[in-house]
């Protein structure tokens, strides 16, 4: 089970860090992937753009390979059992521990005038998303590890107080070395919010991709054979490895090692390979986005599967809690 925030556009970092993992998981596990529209209300109370964002993020994820016939793909608010379980879990979550959450403290700093109770209990809602399906594995990035630890705590607390209902969920990845997708300006990773010119979005036009890649930071090149690559050059090579053929990578590795490398050519090649990688996803996402009947069907089918699983869990929850009246 995993949740996808409906804010911002999907970028290359999301693809290699998360979506590719989801696509692999759907082949091996019973999966639930959910668009977290309720979570977005904690920081985006204005819902003018919400629907469009939900449709877009769904379209983009399907274009990347998520298959509504294999995994349940649904929208959080279509499964009201989520909010019911959230309420029960709120009685087991303490103000002190919630206030210590790193993401909460960050958001308080970013929006000091909107420190609402939903923001404080964000990890409780996330726990409800996960344990509602009694999920074992949650594919998430490093930034979500604390939330997962809290989910384990809340699940265990429920089990101790009312009886064993929930297994412990754990963060999941396929154990490959964690793919890092560096930003094009040599500072950190590609990111939804920071410097959009250094991030390649799956919705970028061919021209925009080429021009962003062309501006990637490089230097004047190695002066000694077999030098260690400076970080900014290592970054460009990391991107090349993600989308270019092995021979291409080898050619530029050896050009680097014998000091004949021309970064203009390297970036030209990288730009073209990025276009080849991104354009089909962009086009597929646009076609899906322009097919409301299909999106509606996907969301209905996903919600149906998710609600079945949720209702089975809620039955156990209410029996355990003694809320099973005649
Ligand atoms: N908090 C997650 C994020 O910021 C999104 C999310 C919501 C989620 N519910 C979830 C992730 C359940 C995993 C499981 O990316």
Cα 225 to ligand 1 centroid, rounded to whole Å: 46
Does 204-285 match 2-178+292-321 at the fold level? no
Q: What's the CA gap between 180 and 188, in Å, rounded? A: 9
Cα 173 to ligand 1 centroid, rounded to whole Å: 15
Q: How many CA atoms lie within 13 A of 75 on its CB side?
A: 22
Q: What's the CA gap between 302 and 300, in Å, rounded? A: 5
The pairing of beta strand 32-35 with beta strand 72-75: parallel
In tens, the pLDDT along 231-268 reads 999 999 999 999 999 999 999 999 999 999 999 999 99
The answer to whether 12 and 270 have CB atoms below 8 angstroms apart is: no
From the centroid of its chain, how far is CA 316? Answer: 30
pTM of the shown model? 0.94
Q: Whose CA is nearest to atom 12 of ligand 1?
A: 3
Cα 199 to ligand 1 centroid, rounded to whole Å: 22
The domain segmentation of the chain, as residue ranges, is 2-178+292-321, 204-285
Q: Does the Cβ of 295 fall within 6 Å of ligand 1? A: no
Q: Does the Cβ of 192 fall within 6 Å of ligand 1? A: no
Closest CA to 307 of 78, 107, 145: 78
In tens, the pLDDT along 142-170 reads 889 999 999 999 999 999 999 999 999 99
DSSP letter assigned to residue 249? H
> Above 80 in pLDDT, residue 200?
yes
Q: To which CATH superfamily is domain 204-285 assigned?
A: Tyrosyl-Transfer RNA Synthetase (1.10.240.10)
Q: What's the CA gap between 150 and 98, in Å, rounded? A: 9
In tens, the pLDDT along 59-68 reads 999 999 999 9
Q: With helix as H, strand as E and coil as C, how does 112-153 read?
A: CCCCCHHHHCHHHHHHHHHHCCCCCEECCCHHHHHHHHHHHH
Taking residues 96-109, report their average pLDDT: 97
In tens, the pLDDT along 166-199 reads 999 999 987 665 677 999 998 888 876 677 899 9
In tens, the pLDDT along 56-98 reads 999 999 999 999 999 999 999 999 999 999 999 999 999 999 9
Taking residues 138-145, report their average pLDDT: 90
Q: To which CATH superfamily is domain 2-178+292-321 assigned?
A: HUPs (3.40.50.620)
Structure confidence at residue 188 (pLDDT): 86
Q: What's the CA gap between 138 and 135, in Å, rounded? A: 7
Structure confidence at residue 43 (pLDDT): 95
């Amino acid at each position: 089970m995993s949740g996808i925030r409906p804010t911002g556009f999907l970028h290359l970092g999301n693809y290699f860090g998360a979506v590719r993992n989801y696509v692999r998981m759907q082949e091996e596990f019973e999966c639930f992937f959910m668009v977290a529209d309720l979570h977005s209300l904690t920081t985006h109370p204005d819902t003018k753009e919400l629907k469009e964002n939900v449709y877009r993020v769904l379209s983009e994820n399907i274009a990347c390979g998520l298959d509504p016939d294999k995994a349940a793909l649904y929208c959080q608010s279509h499964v009201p059992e989520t909010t019911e379980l959230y309420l029960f879990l709120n009685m087991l979550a303490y103000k002190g521990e919630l206030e210590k959450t790193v993401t909460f403290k960050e958001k308080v700093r970013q929006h000091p005038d909107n420190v609402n109770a939903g923001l404080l209990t964000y990890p409780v809602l996330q726990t409800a998303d996960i344990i509602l399906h009694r999920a074992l594995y949650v594919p998430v990035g490093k930034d979500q590890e604390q939330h997962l630890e809290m989910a384990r705590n809340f699940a265990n607390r429920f089990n101790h107080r009312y009886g064993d209902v929930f297994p412990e969920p754990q963060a999941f990845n396929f154990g490959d070395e964690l793919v890092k997708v560096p930003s094009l300006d040599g500072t950190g990773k590609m990111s939804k919010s920071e410097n959009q010119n250094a991030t390649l979005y799956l919705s970028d036009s061919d021209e925009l991709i080429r021009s962003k890649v062309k501006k990637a930071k490089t230097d004047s090149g190695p002066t000694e054979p077999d030098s260690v690559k400076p970080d900014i050059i290592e970054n460009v090579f990391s991107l090349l490895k993600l989308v270019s053929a092995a021979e291409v990578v080898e050619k530029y590795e050896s050009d680097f090692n014998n000091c004949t490398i021309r970064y203009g050519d390297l970036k030209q090649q990288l730009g073209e390979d990025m276009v080849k990688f991104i354009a089909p996803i962009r086009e597929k996402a646009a076609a899906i986005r322009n097919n409301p009947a299909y999106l509606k069907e996907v969301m209905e089918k996903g919600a149906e599967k998710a609600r079945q699983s949720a209702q089975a869990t809620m039955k156990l929850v209410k029996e355990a809690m003694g809320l099973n009246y005649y």
